Amino acid sequence: MEDSPLSIAANIAGLLTFVVAIFASIYVRVVSLRNGKVEMKTVLQCSVDNMQDLRESQADLSITEGDEPDIIWLKKLNASLFATEIVINVYCGRVMNADTTFLEDMLYSTQWVGITPTTFADAAQEIKATKKSKSVIRRLYGERAISSDTSRWSYFDQSVAALQVLFTAGSSPTLIRWYRVRERVLERVRQRDVLRSRLLSHQVYMANT
């Protein structure tokens, strides 16, 4: 029994829908990976620029005896902003396998007081937690997966490697690290924006009093 024209048209439409869905998935993945790289570089560059500005005003972060309450609050906001920028820099630096030792030392060696008594302690604790993000790369790109000698691989090893290639196609260890910490970095970016708004408001208040 031959298929009716309606049945043939429905089959063709189904195949075309399947093909379009595949190409749409590929397009979304390519755009996502491209945007991830741009986003990561943008966040890092912005944070580096802000750090440079803050380093130049380090002398204004230490609270001294005789400071007025408004000046003390201004310095606390600046100190909190400084701690936040360090955390963002460390996150981005570790994602890109850069040396962040000097940033960590800078944070640990500071005696500044933020808007909360634990501002710098919390930042130091979060920096320690970022070290865990690298472990996922070892699990995804482990010794078996990155080894060029496949002659000794078992069927299980080959299956794991195939799944790794499938699920990380077009990606890289750097992007995997970025997407693993992205939400935490963006949360710090939002926190930075709030601090900068509060800082600007306080500066305007001081200028008008």
- pLDDT given for residue 127 in this prediction: 83
Tell me how far apart the alpha carbons of residues 75 and 61 are, in angstroms, rounded to a whole number.
5
Identify the band that residue 192 occupies on the pLDDT scale cut at 50, 70 and 90. Answer: very high
Q: Is 147 left (phi over 0), alpha (psi -120 to 50) or beta?
A: beta
Q: What digits encode the pLDDT tens for the residues 24-80? A: 766 666 666 667 778 888 888 888 888 888 777 655 677 787 888 888 898 899 889
Tell me how far apart the alpha carbons of residues 97 and 151 are, in angstroms, rounded to a whole number.
30
- pLDDT given for residue 148 in this prediction: 44
Secondary structure letter of residue 4 according to DSSP: P
Tokens, residue 179 = 């997407």
